[in-house]
Amino acid sequence: MSKVNRADMPYRDCVGIALFNDRGQVFLARRILTPGPDTSEVDAPWQMPQGGIDDGEDPLAAAYRELYEETGIRTIRLLAQAPDWIHYDLPDEVLGVALKGKYRGQRQQWFAFLFEGAESEITLLHDNPGIDPEFDAWRWEDFDKVADLVVPFKRPAYLDVYAAFAHVPGQIRTRTA
């Protein structure tokens, strides 16, 4: 079996969603862990919603689509967009396995949204034809704690997301006070 060369692999273009509630907390969901060779997220399955950008798709449109597919949520308002793409690399032990074995990691465009719906709108195990659920639980969390709750190889990316949107919780709390 030949060794995969990280430098020869591209990043997968994706979006990430920092979804805030009216208290300035951010939405986290727990990944459904599926059996198989990719065990990269077993120790810390919590994350913010994220997903791939389809060919020719606008990143903002992909963010709306991915959030709906993963959570059932539609009642949101755009607050901010990260100024730059945020990258993460897969760990060596799952390189060539995770992300269908085609990518070295992900290059993500992040968006911050305000959730303006009722929590009953959140349906992780919804009945969308052709869409397999990715999460089995969710919670609201203080934004400054999120990077410590995700899988370690994504932590640097989550710190970049925090840097891009650190101002958002305070703005939300000021508006709703």
Dihedral sign computed on CA atoms, order 134, 151, 8, 85: positive
Strand-pairing partners, residue 15, are 51, 109
pLDDT band of 49, cuts 50, 70, 90: very high
Q: Is 18 within 8 Å of 112 (Cβ atoms)?
A: yes
What would the pLDDT profile of 94-103 be if each residue is shown by its tens digit? Answer: 887 777 788 8
Question: Model pTM?
Answer: 0.89
Structure confidence by residue, pLDDT tens digits, 136-147: 899 999 999 999
Half-sphere exposure of 138 (CA within 13 A, CB side): 25
Number of residues assigned to the chain = 177
DSSP 149-174: TB-GGGHHHHHHHHHHHTTHHHHHHH
Average pLDDT, the chain: 89
Full set of structural domains in the chain with CATH: 11-176 (3.90.79.10)
CA-angle at 107, arms to 103 and 109, nearest 5° = 150
